[in-house]
Structure 1
Amino acid sequence: MRILLVFLLVSLSIVVAPAQSVYQPSAENLAARKAFQDDKFGLFIHWGVYSLLADGEWIMNQRQIPAKDYEKLPTFFNPVDFNAKEWVSMAKNAGMKYITITSKHHDGFAMYDSKVSDYDIVDRTPYKKDVLKMLADECQAQGIKLFFYHSHLDWHHPDYYPRGRTGQKTGRPESGDFEKYLTYMDTQLTELLTNYGPIAGIWFDGWWDQSSDDAGHVGKTAPANKNGIDWKLDRTYSLIHKLQPAALIGNNHHVAPFPGEDFQMFEKDLPGSKSTGFNEAQTIGQLPLETCETMNGSWGFNIKDNRYKSTKDLVHYLVKAAGHNANFLLNVGPMPNGKIQPEFVKSLAEIGQWMQKNGETIYGTRGGPVEARNWGVTTAKGNKVYVHILDWADRQLTLPALPGKVSAARLFADKSPVKITQSAEGVVLTMAAPPAADMLDTIIELDMAPATAKK
């Protein structure tokens, strides 16, 4: 009865909420956007009962596991080695400023204590603890912001109907009430935004499942869905902004941002790039930007995936993201026991060592005055421009004309001077020696007047 009452009360509040035609972000929201851009680096965590099968977070769909069989997985999920303090400390020591974790993925299983459903970690597993509550408390203790990833689509819920592009072989009845499902989703979002303290934002995924505008998501092998389902995003977004005005909304839909969204994300690609098939129809908007990527080739735990990216590759991605005026959200897929793979832990520690020395050239910056080149990128902050040389073997580097005079140049690492030759055609930087082959990033710091940072 208590569950039903909560559901009805929240449902009523959702139904009577006025439609949001023109989104006007609050002062708190605008400040949070700027802080988000300044943070630059975050930890993505894909974790759920799918980790038991050790083959990624899409396994229910890929192996066409019926919902009634998939429901057996939670009875084996007992992450006794989960330690929120270890996770948050690992992220903080890596130089990360925020964490984004899956509250509910496409399989529909909630990784927190939901009251509107018992299909969650507290009610269905022998662990019986709310990992998101422990993580939220630890994030607040260590000064790390917390975002919740939340899936629009749901391969388990019976009212997720009509079926979308994915999850068509999970044995659910060929009927359902999509409006009831949307109410269920908004009720779970209400729980997340009222029971876990300050939440930095909601990271949506799965909108593309019910859209004919799909831009090539991993579900593209399924038949194209022309249902044209209305997700009623205005209603959901308005609810989130009402509950926590500073919370930022992003949606991994691979198209131009919708009203009510506060940042724009690019999956496995730098903004403007179209190398992975996810962002074919996506252009860069005016919102803060974020790109996300994996440390091997998988989001969720995959025991066979040893395609580990090197620390050099990951640092270069972080630097390039900053040069493209974007944050970098780097993913780990914890194991079912609650531990994070040692390969990931090692790489994050090494990135943290680099950030301790060079974070000034990343945090608080915006994309610099020189767009990305084969040799690297530039970042800018105040009257400083940082030239990040990632792939260059000569003493001299020529930049195009800059919107201001360079008054001084030096290597960031040891402050040794770099010779400047500036003309209307460009700027030539001459170093005492070519960048060392073992350097992850040779950074030249330019003093500029006036400031050239993007707003």
Structure 2
Amino acid sequence: MTITAPAAPQTETDASGLPAWFTHDRFGMFIHWGLYALPARHEWVKNHERITDEDYRKYFDHFDPDLFDPTDWARRAREAGMKYAVLTTKHHEGFALWDSQLTDYKATNTRFGRDIVREFVDAFRAEGIRIGFYHSLIDWHHPDFTIDGVHPRRDDSPEEIARLQDGRDMARYREYLHGQVEELLTGYGRIDYLFYDFSYRDNDHEDRWGGKGRDDWGSEELMALTKRLQPGIIVNDRLDIPGDIVTPEQYQPDKPMEVDGVPVPWEACQTFNGSWGYDRDNQDVKSVDLLVRMLVDGVSNNGNMLLNVGPTGRGEFDPVARRSLAGIGEWMHQHARSVYGAGPSSFRAPAGTVYTQRGDRLYLHLFTWPFEHVHLPDLAGKVVYAQLLNDASEVRYREIPPGTRAQNTGLGGQPAGTLTLTLPIVRPDVAVPVVELFLQED
């Protein structure tokens, strides 16, 4: 299935100064994959279960994803309508998915023995999908990363923590962090997006004692390095300094996001089931129609959605991910133009609906299916044609003069300026029905 869409913008940046592809493409794939796919109990399993390096070693020794097929991953992403993809090059466990020259704790030293980042980049680029990297600022494996309230060894005795801390040097770790980023940004061609994760020096969190932030990461220098090595790259907001975009995680903003009263580009990071890494027994799965509603709700508030997949320990997308991606792709096949290149509208949408708009096309997303009529405020005299987007079937509409009383089967009682659509009784068999409204040109 091929997702058709309007042509990408020709300008290099959008009105906010961000590379224009980001607010045009709107929908990306996050991929969390690492040693934590083997225990299959959440990507923070080492932290949650206070696992030592010695006990965690068994996952390194048995990492051998023989069914890993990045071309399959990339095809499923494209068919779902995703335009960019972000892979965890290293998560908090410290395991590198590429052939880093700065550590032995890497995929090429496992039984698998392959550079996963290289294969990801090549496969997704071949499908026309932009490339992003996630890189953890945290590293629970590195011998210079100091113990803190987020570290797996945080509950050891004070004496044991003191022993573990002896000789650790965050300056050496900072050099390692910057060195690995330089490897990633010089070894794989054009990289469009870098998602750093995360800073936690907030003193309001008592359980995050010894937290780390901009000074520990050398964030100003790291941002400068990132921008120098990859001009035009988008960087997120988790270095404890301002980034290019804001990244709300596992919640949906109810309006366009702002920083100090100024609208900012943003991206909601979402999961199928609340876990980023493969979590075998987690069945708290979002439905396809909910995921689609989340996507278009974000676009209506000028945001993107980065939807995560956590591949299994054998390297496959699990059945939940495959079904969900296919379902989203089926909807996107018919409705992509309400997403790509679209954004918020100045018109006020009725309850149970959201608008997105692209030029003179206004898209009404119906989260609930009404009985026959839907009343659209302030649109009288502004629409020249309406149709259901899934099949381009005409939707009739009328403008009801103000002051008209509703009697028996006659419509009325709507305020001046209301446009009323007449919809079929039977709801279209799609995840979220959309009416495409063609507006009068100015």
Q: TM-score, normalised by structure 2?
A: 0.84
Flag the 1:403–1:52 CA change in 2: closer, same or farther, 3 A: farther
Give 1:211's aligned residue.
202
Flag the 1:360–1:130 CA change in 2: closer, same or farther, 3 A: same
User: How far does residue 335 in structure 1 lie from its aligned partner after superposition?
Assistant: 0.5
Whole-angstrom distance in 2 between the partners of 1:105 and 1:385: 41
User: Given the alignment, which residue of 117, 138, 151 partners 2:123?
Assistant: 138
Give 2:29's aligned residue.
43
Does structure 1 residue 97 correspond to structure 2 residue 71? no
User: How far does residue 28 in structure 1 lie from its aligned partner after superposition?
Assistant: 5.7
In structure 2, the gaps of 5 or more residues are: 1-10, 403-414
Given that 2:344 and 2:356 are in contact with CA atoms closer than 8 Å, whether structure 1 keeps it comes out as: yes
Given that 1:324 and 1:372 are in contact with CA atoms closer than 8 Å, whether structure 2 keeps it comes out as: no
User: Given the alignment, which residue of 386, 389, 395 partners 1:417?
Assistant: 395
Give 2:192's aligned residue.
200
Amino acid at match of 1:156: H
Give 1:56's aligned residue.
42
* Percentage of matched positions with identical amino acids: 33
User: How far does residue 434 in structure 1 lie from its aligned partner after superposition?
Assistant: 4.4
Given that 2:382 and 2:439 are in contact with CA atoms closer than 8 Å, whether structure 1 keeps it comes out as: yes
SS at match of 2:71: helix
Whole-angstrom distance in 2 between the partners of 1:195 and 1:227: 28
Does structure 1 residue 34 correspond to structure 2 residue 12? no
Q: CA RMSD, aligned part only? A: 2.9
User: How far does residue 194 in structure 1 lie from its aligned partner after superposition?
Assistant: 0.5
Flag the 1:433–1:227 CA change in 2: closer, same or farther, 3 A: closer
Whole-angstrom distance in 2 between the partners of 1:289 and 1:450: 29
User: Given the alignment, which residue of 337, 351, 361 partners 1:360?
Assistant: 337
Flag the 1:202–1:396 CA change in 2: closer, same or farther, 3 A: same
Give 1:398's aligned residue.
375
| CA deviation string 1:319-360 (max 9, x = no partner) | 212212111111111111111102211221121111111111
SS at match of 1:331: strand
Amino acid at match of 1:421: E
Give 1:86's aligned residue.
72
In structure 1, the gaps of 5 or more residues are: 1-26, 214-219, 274-278
Counterpart mapping for 1:410-449 below 5 A: 410-413=387-390, 414-421=392-399, 425-434=416-425, 436=427, 438-449=429-440
Amino acid at match of 1:205: D
Whole-angstrom distance in 2 between the partners of 1:302 and 1:441: 28
User: How far does residue 370 in structure 1 lie from its aligned partner after superposition?
Assistant: 3.8
Give 1:154's aligned residue.
139
Whole-angstrom distance in 2 between the partners of 1:372 and 1:267: 25
| CA deviation string 1:216-263 (max 9, x = no partner) | xxxx6834546766233221111111001121101347xxx843x222
SS at match of 1:446: strand
Give 1:21's aligned residue.
none
Does structure 1 residue 247 correspond to structure 2 residue 233? yes
Q: TM-score, normalised by structure 1?
A: 0.82
User: How far does residue 282 in structure 1 lie from its aligned partner after superposition?
Assistant: 7.9
Whole-angstrom distance in 2 between the partners of 1:313 and 1:292: 15
| CA deviation string 1:4-41 (max 9, x = no partner) | xxxxxxxxxxxxxxxxxxxxxxx967676211111111
Give 1:69's aligned residue.
55
Given that 1:252 and 1:266 are in contact with CA atoms closer than 8 Å, whether structure 2 keeps it comes out as: no
Whole-angstrom distance in 2 between the partners of 1:139 and 1:439: 28
Amino acid at match of 2:202: S
- Return 306-315 or 237-246, whichever deviates more: 306-315
- Return 29-38 or 292-301, whichever deviates more: 29-38
Flag the 1:304–1:98 CA change in 2: closer, same or farther, 3 A: same
Give 1:292's aligned residue.
269
Given that 2:24 and 2:340 are in contact with CA atoms closer than 8 Å, whether structure 1 keeps it comes out as: yes
Amino acid at match of 2:131: L
SS at match of 2:224: helix
Structure with greater Cα Rg = 2
Whole-angstrom distance in 1 between the partners of 2:203 and 2:140: 19
User: Given the alignment, which residue of 167, 186, 205 partners 2:152?
Assistant: 167
